[in-house]
C-alpha cells in the first residue's frame, strides 16, 4: 500500500470520515475530496485524525459541485483507488429530482467518467445502498417475504413519490443502474465494486455539538431515545457505521476479487426493530434515563425487510456488529456532548439540520 493513493469523496460525511480513518489505518495515502477548506479543517480537528498523525498521508482536494462536468478530473490524477461515497441522504431537499436524484446519479457517473481519463486507477468502490435493489413502490405499501441480496437488480423508478425516502431509493437505484451500464458499455481499465449498506448507525465524531446529534441516519435510531415520535415505518435494516467504512476499505484489497456487490445489515436476515433503541439505552444508561437526559419514550415503527448479507461476512472475513453496539456508541457520544454543554441543549429536529 506504500505510496498508493485513495481518493475518498464525501470525506466530511458521517461514513465518509470513518472511511478516511480506516484507509489511513490500513496504510493508504488518502486524498479527501471536500467542498471547501472549512470541511477540511473539521476533519483535521477530529481526535481520530490527530491520533494517527497522518502528515503527508492525508491531503485534500476541493470539489465544490459534484455534479459539474469534469468535477473530479483533477481529483483522480495519480490515484490508484477511489472510494466514491458522496451522495445526498434522504430528505436532502424538497425538489427530489434536483436535490436527491441528480446529485446521486451525476455524481456517480462523473466519478466514473473522470476515472476513465486516469490510467492509474485500478479499482473504484461505490457506496450504493440496499434500497437500490428493493422495489420501493411495492414495498412501501406492504411487506414481502422475499429475501433480497446485494446482487439483485430492479428497474429505475420515477415520480410521483409519496415520501422522500422513496425518492432516495429511486436515486440509489438509478445510480447503480448507471454504473452497471457504464461498465458494460465502456469496459474500463478499472474494476468497480458496490457496497450496499442499510441505514448506518453509530457515533459521528464530526458532530461536536449535542444539538446536531440527530443528523443523518442516526436520527431514525436515536430520535425515539430522545422522545421523538414517528408514524412512518422505516425498514428494519441497520448497519454499524464502522462496519460500513471497514468494508469499503477491505473491498480495495487486490486479493479480493473486484466487480462484486457487498451488502451490510446487522441482526441477520430479519434485521432489527428501530424501537429497540429505547430498551438498549434503558439497559446501558439507567441513570441517564432516570434523570431525563435520555427520555427513552419515543416511537419509531419498523417495517420488516429480509436481506441476506452473509456473502460479505464470508468473502471479507468480518463479523458485523450489533444494533445495540451502534446505539450505545451514539448514546455515549450524546451524553459526553450534553455534559460539555452544561446538561441542557435544544436538539434540532431532523428537518432543521
10 φ/ψ sector (left φ>0, alpha ψ -120 to 50, else beta): left
Residue 95's pLDDT band, with cuts at 50, 70 and 90, is confident
How far is the C-alpha of 106 from the C-alpha of 262, rounded, in Å?
22
DSSP SS3 for 8: strand
DSSP 227-291: T-B--S-EES-EEEHHHHHHHHHHTT-TTS-SS-EEEE-TTSTT---TTHHHHHHHHH-HHHHHT
* β-strand pairing of 147-148 with 238-240: unpaired
Structure confidence by residue, pLDDT tens digits, 181-230: 999 999 999 999 999 999 999 999 999 999 999 999 999 999 999 999 99
Structure confidence by residue, pLDDT tens digits, 124-160: 999 999 999 998 766 555 778 899 999 999 999 888 8
Structure confidence by residue, pLDDT tens digits, 276-321: 999 999 999 999 999 999 999 999 999 999 999 999 999 999 999 9
Phi and psi at residue 265, to the nearest 5°: -165, 125
Tabulate helix, strand, coil % of the chain (nearest 5). 40, 15, 45
* Closest listed residue to residue 300, CA positions, set 284, 279, 317, 315: 279
> Taking a C-beta distance cutoff of 8 angstroms, is the pair 297, 275 a contact?
no
Distances, alpha carbon 304 to alpha carbons 12, 196, 307, in Å: 31, 18, 10
Q: Which three cell numbers stand for residue 94?
A: 424538497
For residue 352, pLDDT beyond 60: no
Distances, alpha carbon 205 to alpha carbons 41, 156, 313, in Å: 14, 35, 26
Residue 165's pLDDT band, with cuts at 50, 70 and 90, is confident
Cross-strand pairs, 192: 124
Give the whole-number percent of the chain exceeding pLDDT 70: 96
Structure confidence by residue, pLDDT tens digits, 43-65: 999 999 999 866 679 999 999 99
Residue 93's pLDDT band, with cuts at 50, 70 and 90, is confident
How far is the C-alpha of 107 from the C-alpha of 116, rounded, in Å?
14
Output the average pLDDT for the chain: 93
Helices (H), 291-322: 310-316
> Taking a C-beta distance cutoff of 8 angstroms, is the pair 131, 100 a contact?
no
Amino acid at each position: 500500500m506504500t505510496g498508493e493513493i485513495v481518493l475518498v469523496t464525501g470525506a466530511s460525511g458521517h461514513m465518509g470520515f470513518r472511511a478516511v480513518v480506516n484507509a489511513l489505518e490500513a496504510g493508504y495515502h488518502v486524498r479527501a475530496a471536500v467542498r471547501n477548506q472549512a470541511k477540511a479543517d473539521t476533519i483535521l480537528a477530529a481526535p481520530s485524525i490527530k491520533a494517527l498523525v497522518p502528515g503527508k498521508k492525508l491531503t485534500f482536494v476541493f470539489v465544490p459541485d459534484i455534479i459539474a462536468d469534469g468535477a473530479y478530473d483533477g481529483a483522480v490524477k495519480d490515484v490508484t483507488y477511489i472510494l466514491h461515497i458522496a451522495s445526498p441522504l434522504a430528505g436532502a431537499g424538497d425538489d427530489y429530482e434536483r436535490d436527491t436524484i441528480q446529485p446521486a446519479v451525476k455524481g456517480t457517473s462523473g466519478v466514473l467518467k473522470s476515472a476513465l481519463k486516469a490510467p492509474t486507477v485500478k479499482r473504484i468502490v461505490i457506496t450504493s445502498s440496499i434500497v437500490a435493489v428493493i422495489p420501493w413502490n411495492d414495498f412501501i405499501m406492504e411487506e414481502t417475504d422475499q429475501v433480497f441480496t446485494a446482487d439483485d437488480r430492479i428497474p429505475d423508478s420515477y415520480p410521483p413519490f409519496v415520501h422522500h425516502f422513496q425518492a432516495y431509493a429511486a436515486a440509489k437505484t438509478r445510480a447503480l443502474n448507471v454504473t452497471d451500464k457504464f461498465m458494460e458499455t465502456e469496459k474500463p481499465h478499472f474494476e468497480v465494486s458496490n457496497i450496499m449498506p442499510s441505514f448506518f448507525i453509530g457515533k459521528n465524531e464530526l458532530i461536536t455539538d449535542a444539538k446536531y446529534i440527530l443528523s443523518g441516519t442516526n436520527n431514525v435510531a436515536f430520535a425515539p431515545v430522545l422522545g421523538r415520535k414517528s408514524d412512518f415505518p422505516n425498514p428494519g435494516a441497520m448497519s454499524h457505521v464502522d462496519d460500513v467504512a471497514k468494508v469499503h476499505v477491505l473491498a480495495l484489497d487486490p486479493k479480493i476479487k473486484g466487480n462484486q456487490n457487498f451488502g451490510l445489515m446487522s441482526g441477520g436476515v430479519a434485521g432489527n426493530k428501530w424501537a429497540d433503541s429505547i430498551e438498549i439505552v434503558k439497559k446501558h444508561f439507567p441513570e441517564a434515563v432516570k434523570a431525563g437526559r435520555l427520555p427513552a419514550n419515543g416511537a419509531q415503527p419498523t417495517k420488516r425487510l429480509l436481506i441476506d448479507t452473509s456473502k460479505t461476512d464470508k468473502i471479507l472475513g468480518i463479523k458485523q456488529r450489533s444494533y445495540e453496539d451502534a446505539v450505545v456508541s451514539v448514546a455515549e457520544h450524546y451524553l459526553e456532548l450534553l455534559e460539555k454543554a452544561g446538561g441542557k441543549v435544544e436538539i434540532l429536529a431532523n428537518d432543521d439540520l
